[in-house]
Structure 1
């Protein structure tokens, strides 16, 4: 039953992170139908991503003080509603607010849902990796569904985007009921102390990882030559990330989370460098390897953060799933500037420094005591 509930929660996670991939897919239709410029289009993406990432820790702090199990299904519906209103909104300010509403829904969902997933999984690293995988898959499939829908009906069809959120809400509520009333809600009661220095170090590690992964996903298709070759390289990176998410949970069960994290970052250095230094088809092999290595620690960051801050599990979830992840998006223009000043090859090679720095920062980390919220 626990495995079934984790699968359902992973599906719900997929329905929420679907909208993080859906917003970039909506932007080209906003540009085509409403003639938005590059600045206006980037403002739409900013409303959905950066705003969501910054607000997530605030929702986490609130979740540490009050019982907010009800926020999980409500935030899912808000996420879908915001994306669905992007078409009918009409004016740019209303469209921006609709997209921002979707981003706020994403921000409200993750801290409490991550704690619920931790509770339902019984602290299992493998269970948490499945929950994380759901979000990754939802993000990845969004363009494959949104683009055909809006190509068929234009922005007038955007209200249909509410459907994934509604379905995800239904299955998540069912999982919450089967897990027991109030599962995962409320403040964690524990005698353990928060280790803020270790948590801050972990957040910096995550930020460096995000710069490497998002920087690669932003430019690897272009480096591969664009077109089909670029699409294949990007797909292999994403597929490697999905495999790495599951692999990370299983390795952590055998080796421990911190050892797995260090091993992954050590392997990510040659994987990122190989994308540039190995000629021909080797690029595709190393793009996949980089995706695996950089996603092995992803779900482990979440549980480590929760265990470093056992009294503030919601805050930990908000930072590890939101603020630290946004670092890659913020740094992407800097990677682009480096590519313009030198070459794309140099810029991509510089990304290999990120996991090296992450490995160095992670060396002093120690395995914390497991602090699973009472069921």
Structure 2
């Protein structure tokens, strides 16, 4: 038993690797947009549509895969999802046809949606009592690293090999597929044990207080905040590089490098955010993050000095990512009997919903300029801050 518990401590690192191999494709999709615009003369709205269709299909299937994770213990679905995510992204450089690009990003988006609910659920199951935030932080750090490497891999592979360089995204997908094969049995056993424990808890609660009762009203409030952050995340990842290129008159490589720096800072903040939230409270961390992001973005959009704008990436990226892990943990605690579904919403739709609205931001950018689009994002952050103030704090359930 002790040996099994010892192994549990390392599962989150394997899952963090998978998260990186999955989310490297999300970072790549945003970074490839300037190359697509330059090569095929797409406008902002059309380019943003690629992000939308990818995440629209991902958002549709995300709750489905979350429900599957709750009802069926299928850890192999994570490896399949990562393979589809990388395969779809690899195909984006092989066609200039808009519908072909749509098909490629749809496959990639569905693959990403397949990975997140099952993986986040397993991270929660393997985390120690009162340290779920730390576990999710490690998991999210892997995803942030993947998002950071996405633009780097995009720029380097395309500059070296042309648009066909996107085939390089098959490498991380195959890597996780091979590594995860050695852990499928462990993940399967972990899931079966959790289901057995949950069944025992429900049976015991029939004669006592329902400690594991789902709090759907609180979860709905959380969703409002999550969707606000989703718009912020997708808006920044889609338009940040373009802002440096079009408004601050920097090169494409500089713009993508700025996006990579933004993701890197966010990764460090996400790694620390969960542990800080474990100590001081998840709802407080969420509120503070939005309170910092809003004025930082306003300052970013009012300058035309690229050095000052680069400096503002630090508070913006850190503030955006500090709320990541607390939201996932709160979702699982609000719905302890539907952790897969909760993870699919807070971790999966946290990307998808905002991307579906990217054409609205794209329209604002086309009609009023990129600065106007960033002001819209700032307004969303203010609304998310307001909604976060109504989230109830939770008490973790003890684990044996």
Please confirm whether the aligned pair reaches a TM-score higher than 0.5, indicating the same fold: yes
Question: For residues 24 and 279 of structure 1, what CA distance do their matches in structure 2 show?
Answer: 23
Q: Retained in 2: the 8 A contact 1:13–1:138?
A: yes
Match of 2:326 in 1: 300
Match of 1:127 in 2: 135
Q: Retained in 1: the 8 A contact 2:214–2:336?
A: yes
Q: Which residues of 2 match residues 1-375 of structure 1 at below 5 A?
A: 2-24=8-30, 44-84=50-90, 96-122=102-128, 123-153=131-161, 160-177=168-185, 179=186, 181-184=188-191, 189=199, 190-191=201-202, 192-217=212-237, 218-219=239-240, 220-221=243-244, 222-227=246-251, 230=255, 233-277=258-302, 280=305, 281-338=307-364, 344-370=370-396
Q: Retained in 2: the 8 A contact 1:224–1:233?
A: no
Residue aligned with 1:326, SS: helix
How far did residue 17 of structure 1 move? 1.3
Question: For residues 321 and 135 of structure 2, what CA distance do their matches in structure 1 show?
Answer: 15
How far did residue 305 of structure 1 move? 0.7
Residue aligned with 2:396, SS: coil
How far did residue 70 of structure 1 move? 2.4
The 1:128–1:84 alpha-carbon spacing in structure 2 relative to 1, beyond 3 Å, is: same
Residue aligned with 1:49, SS: helix
How far did residue 131 of structure 1 move? 0.5
The 1:234–1:153 alpha-carbon spacing in structure 2 relative to 1, beyond 3 Å, is: closer
How far did residue 229 of structure 1 move? 6.4
How far did residue 161 of structure 1 move? 3.2
Q: TM-score normalized by structure 1?
A: 0.84
Q: Retained in 1: the 8 A contact 2:225–2:387?
A: yes
How far did residue 121 of structure 1 move? 2.5
Q: Retained in 2: the 8 A contact 1:268–1:355?
A: yes
Deviations 1:13-57 (A, max 9, x none): 111112223345566777899x69668766554443321133111
User: Structure 1: which 5+ residue stretches go unaligned?
Assistant: none
Question: For residues 100 and 304 of structure 2, what CA distance do their matches in structure 1 show?
Answer: 48
Q: Retained in 1: the 8 A contact 2:365–2:373?
A: yes
Question: For residues 88 and 178 of structure 2, what CA distance do their matches in structure 1 show?
Answer: 18
Q: TM-score normalized by structure 2?
A: 0.79
Question: For residues 338 and 202 of structure 1, what CA distance do their matches in structure 2 show?
Answer: 27
The 1:180–1:75 alpha-carbon spacing in structure 2 relative to 1, beyond 3 Å, is: closer
Deviations 1:162-198 (A, max 9, x none): 2211211233343454x56422367554541111111
Match of 2:207 in 1: none
Deviations 1:112-154 (A, max 9, x none): 0111111223353112111111111112212322443355445
Q: Retained in 2: the 8 A contact 1:224–1:230?
A: no
Question: For residues 213 and 65 of structure 2, what CA distance do their matches in structure 1 show?
Answer: 21
Match of 2:206 in 1: none
Q: Retained in 2: the 8 A contact 1:274–1:282?
A: no
